[in-house]
Structure 1
Amino acid sequence: MTNHELVDLLKTLSAIYHREGCFDFDAGIGSMIDLLSRSPDQSGALWQHAASSYRTMAVTKSGFSDVYVDAATAQERVLANIQLDGIRQTLWETFKRA
């Protein structure tokens, strides 16, 4: 996964959180987007810092995993949360190797 793809996933994650009224992670997500946008590859200090930030935000109390989509119907809720979990899992798998 390229840095550009990671930035796109983080932007999607942020948009989902915003739709759910969650703005708690804006600074952290914004910082990771900035770091990844400036990082030429996935081995430098900028990328390592972005990865560390994600791992920290993902595992802390009241972290990323505490946010879920509350859609109108049960089916919409299940599908939306599957998408959300997929994004978070992809980011975790990418950043855990740092």
Structure 2
Amino acid sequence: MNKVKAAEFLKELKEIYNREGCYSFDKGIDSTIKELSDSIIQNDAPWQRAASLYRTMAGSKSGFSDVYVDAGTSQERVQPTSSWTVFGNTSGMLSRGFD
């Protein structure tokens, strides 16, 4: 996955959370997107910092898993997350192949 696609997914995630009234992750998501914009190639230092920031948000005790979005049908809720794998395996959290 390239940095443009990863940033798009993160922006989409932020929009979903903001629609639900959750602003807790805005700073972390914005920082991750900034690191990606500073990245020149995949797996360089900014890319690795972006991955680390993401994993901190996704894998922590009070991370992404504490936000519950109850929109649409159960099938609609499962479908988008099944394609999310941005920064490698985060213990079953959103991850979309950053490794």
Measured against the shorter chain, the TM-score band is 0.7 to 0.9
- Structure 1 consecutive aligned stretches of length 4 or more whose deviation exceeds 3 Å: none
**Structure 1: stretches of 5+ with no match in the other structure:** none
Partner residue, 1:46? 46
DSSP-derived class of the 1:90 partner:
coil
Q: Distance in 2 between matches of 1:2 and 1:55?
A: 17
Please give the TM-score of this superposition, normalised by the length of structure 2: 0.80
Relative contact order (C-alpha < 8 Å, sep 6+): which is higher? 1
Identity across the alignment (%) = 49
Please give the TM-score of this superposition, normalised by the length of structure 1: 0.81
Contact 1:69 1:81 (8 Å CA) reproduced: no
Instruction: State the shift of 1:13 in Å.
Output: 0.3
- Count how many residue pairs are aligned between Structure 1 and Structure 2: 90
CA RMSD in angstroms, aligned pairs only: 1.6
Instruction: State the shift of 1:68 in Å.
Output: 2.2
Contact 1:3 1:42 (8 Å CA) reproduced: yes
The structure with the largest helix share of the pair is 1
